[in-house]
Amino acid sequence: MKQLKTRNFCIIAHIDHGKSTLADRLIQLTGAMKSDKIIEQMMDSMELERERGITIKAKAIRLSYQAKDGITYELNLIDTPGHVDFAYEVSRTLAACEGAILVIDATQGIQAQTISNVYFAMDHNLEIIPVINKIDLPSSETEKVLEEIESVLGYKSEEVLQISAKTGQGVPELLESIINKIPPPKGDVNRPLRALIFDSHYDSYMGVVAYISVYDGSIRKGDKLLLMGQGTELEVVSIGYFDPKFCPADELLAGDIGYIATGLKSVGECRVGDTITSLENGAKEPLIGYKTAKPVVFTGIYTTQPEDHGQLREAIEKLSLNDASFSYEPENSPVLGNGYRCGFLGLLHMDIVQERLEREFDLSLIVTVPGVKLIVTRTDGSQSMVVNPSDLPEPTELLKIEEPWVKISVITPSTFIGPIMELVTQSEGIYKHTEYIGHSHSPDALGQRVRLEYEIPLRSMLTTFYDQLKSRSKGYASLDHEVIGYRETKLIKLDILVNGVMVDAFSRVVPPDKAHEIGKSMVEKLKEVIPTQLFKVPLQASIGSRIIARADISARRKDVLAKCYGGDITRKRKLLEKQKEGKKKMRNIGKVEVPKDAFMSVLKMER
């Protein structure tokens, strides 16, 4: 029976621990493709993903492997996103598999996000194969990492494989281990169809393509299906698997991983995590609880040139066809005009969406200070969600503000506990727990590694928290976070005035006792990033009508091409054309030309 010869698995790894290299090596060793056809790290297909070294969209590849027992197995490798912003996508990917390869870098050891992913895999009863990668590197510390794995995750040394995805060392043994340890899919082809959507993307020819793991039953082209969580009905336009290109097939059976093209117009109608069944005589229960990943970080997006707003609307609509996890609502700023308040899964997700909008749609964007979703209770008892600081009620009408908190987990050599503790305290966080990792008999110069737990307002993580954590730990600390709920807080709105004009895009909510300090550094930072203008420009920070900080940009005195003779005219005109083009990257606010980067730069302030 085919199902018994199938293994569905994914790779869990921290960024740069070698997931993509290992995937390439598995592809090469199983002969799914000729090795000369392998494009380096081919599972990362989006240009942006490769540049950032992360994987945003999960994909799946079917491999054919002849094991030592002489049987040819079908292996389905599902790729997972490597960043905490996409934790929900990771969780659905894990739910689509029976096993996971846990890759840990021999030079870096266990990282914070690795642990949460492993716990998640354990929750789903996945068989985990722990692997130490990069053992070929001179700086590898295999023994130490083995100790960490045993102390934190409970795997004995002999259970852990030692490999080098780069050289291929140990990978054949890993393949055997996949066959022997990971169980075949358990579903039943004769029961009503149940398939889990673990990823989807929009294709202009085929409509939404859903990546699915078929648990029970089977699917054929032309089948009429139902998404149990969303209630969407669809017909299968085409069906197949990946090798790693789309490879059409007649059917997908229980235990198979593949795709169906749905003809749907937006991934919003076909969301990750939903269970597919037959429209008639379908299954009664979904595979796992379906929910939508909820945006937690919000920001305003505008075009630098107001007349480009129509293009932005079109771009956002198109992009949302392909990314169901970001939200957008039209908003109007007195200064920036028409734009959108967008919600994201995290800062990285926000960066990615912004870059895709700018790159794929050739837009020049202003992204305002990101913030969280606040729950605001007014004195009249009414409650509302506030994602734009401008919507915060007047203090006299305000009874209570609640904001989201996160639990963070940091893994770091113990030397850096002090500076990290200090950072968390400055960020209004609370210490919860310390746990030492590995054995104390082999501490190195930086001290034994330790896992620290804190709780902090999510708001505090939206500025320089991560950069600071990295710099205070000389790059050693890793971070994981999850939202744990809302807590009451005291916050006020801090405004920035440029040349006397209040610029709502700079407004943010801050704790009252920090308003002064933050206001001061914001105007100082803006003074650096806004170029000199034709007149003196005052920059002010205010709370209500009270000015709490000020910095002035002095007027520009000289900007002229001094020489212009026969040989210069074309060249000088081109310089002026460049100057003119540069103005398009500026937003005119109160007659002041503000570079688009200024809006984000106020967040990247040193403390």
Partner 1 sequence: MSDIKAIYIHVPFCRRRCKYCSFISYQSRESDIPAYIDAVKNEFSLRSGNSIINTVYFGGGTPSLLAAPQISSLTSAMKDNFNLANDCEITMEANPGTIDLNYLSEVKAAGINRLSIGIQSFNDEELSMLGRIHTAKDALNAIKDAREAAFDNLNIDLIYGLPGQSVDNWKDSLVKAVEVNPDHMSLYPLTLEPEEPLFKEIESRVLPEISADTAAIQYELAEQLLEKHGYIHYEISNWAKPGKECLHNLVYWQGGEYLGIGVAAHSYIVNRRSANTADLSQYIESSSHNSLPPQEVDETITPETEIAESIILGLRLCNGIDTKDFKKRFNIDIMKRYGRQIEELINFGLIENDENGIRLSPRGRLLGNEVFWRFLPDKL
Residue 574 CB, nearest approach to partner 1 (Å): 10
Tell me how far, at minimum, the Cβ of 583 lies from partner 1, in Å.
8
Note whether 208 and 262 are within 8 A (CB).
yes
DSSP per residue over 560-571, as a string?
A: ------TTTHHH
Q: Which two tokens stand for residue 91?
A: 């969780």
Cα separation, 302 vs 44, whole angstroms: 30
Closest separation between CB of residue 594 and partner 1, Å?
16
* Residue type for position 332: N
- In the complex, minimum distance from the CB of residue 524 to partner 1, in angstroms, rounded to a whole number: 21
CA 511, CA 463: separation in Å to the nearest integer? 14
What minimum distance in Å lies between the beta carbon of 559 and partner 1? 5
Give min distance, CB of 571 to partner 1, in A.
9
DSSP 149: I
CB of 582 to partner 1, least distance (A): 9
Place of tokens 């018994």: 4
For partner 1, give the closer residue by CB, 39 or 569. 569
Give me 118's structure tokens. Answer: 């492993």
Q: Which of 417, 607, 402, 603 is nearest to 507 (CA)?
A: 603
Of 205 and 565, nearer to partner 1 (C-beta) is 565
Judged by the rule CB under 8 A, the positions of this chain that interact with partner 1 are 534-535, 556-567, 569-570, 573, 576-577, 579-581, 583
Structural tokens at position 390: 């401008």
Closest by CA to 585, choosing from 261, 418, 364, is 364
Residue nearer to partner 1 on the CB measure, 380 or 581: 581
Instruction: Give Cβ neighbours of residue 108 (< 8 Å, ≥ 6 apart).
Output: 14, 17
Q: 429 in helix, strand or coil?
A: coil
Using DSSP's 3-state secondary structure scheme, residue 251 falls into strand
| Residue reference for tokens 């001094």 | 562
Helix (H) or strand (E) holding 100: strand 99-105
**Tokens describing residue 432:** 């919860």
CB of 573 to partner 1, least distance (A): 6
Write the single-letter amino acid at 602: V
What is d(CA 88, CA 326) in angstroms, rounded to the nearest whole number?
A: 13
Residue-level length of the chain: 607
Sign of CA dihedral 576, 578, 579, 583: positive
Please answer whether residues 60 and 200 qualify as being in contact, where contact means their C-beta atoms are separated by less than 8 angstroms.
no
Nearest approach in angstroms of CB 540 to partner 1 is 23
Nearer of residues 265 and 584 to partner 1, judged by Cβ: 584
- Per the DSSP assignment, residues forming a β-bridge with 300 are 341
SS (HEC) of 316-385: HHHHHHHCCCCEEEEEEECCCEEEEEEEECCHHHHHHHHHHHHHHHCCCEEECCCECCEEEEECCCCEEE
H or E stretch at 134: none
Q: Are 410 and 420 in contact (CB under 8 A)?
A: yes
Whether 196 and 92 have beta carbons less than 8 Å apart is answered as yes
Cis preceding linkage at 244, omega within 30: yes
Q: What minimum distance in Å lies between the beta carbon of 232 and partner 1?
A: 45
Residue 591 C-beta: closest distance to partner 1, Å? 9
In terms of Cα–Cα distance, which of 330, 387, 322 is closest to 361?
A: 322
If the CB atoms of residues 1 and 562 are measured against partner 1, the closer one turns out to be: 562
Rank residues 474 and 574 by Cβ distance to partner 1 and give the closer one.
574
Farthest CA pair distance, the chain: 86
Is the CB of 280 or the CB of 581 nearer to partner 1?
581
C-beta closer to partner 1: residue 284 or 563: 563
Instruction: List CB contacts of 445: < 8 A, sequence separation 6 or more.
Output: none
In the complex, the smallest distance separating the C-beta of residue 560 from partner 1, rounded to whole angstroms, is 4
DSSP state, residue 292: P
**Which lies closer to partner 1 via its Cβ, residue 181 or residue 585?**
585
Rounded least distance, CB 563 to partner 1, Å: 6
CB 388 within 8 A of CB 321: no
Residue 161, sorted as left (phi over 0), alpha (psi -120 to 50) or beta, turns out to be beta
User: Angle 417-426/465-472 helices, nearest 10 degrees?
Assistant: 160
Q: From the CB of 538, what's the least distance to partner 1, in Å?
A: 18
Q: Give Cβ neighbours of residue 579 (< 8 Å, ≥ 6 apart).
A: none
Smallest distance, Å, CB 578 to partner 1?
Answer: 9
Minimal distance in Å, beta carbon 309 to partner 1?
18
- Decide the pairing of beta strands 398-413 and 430-436: unpaired
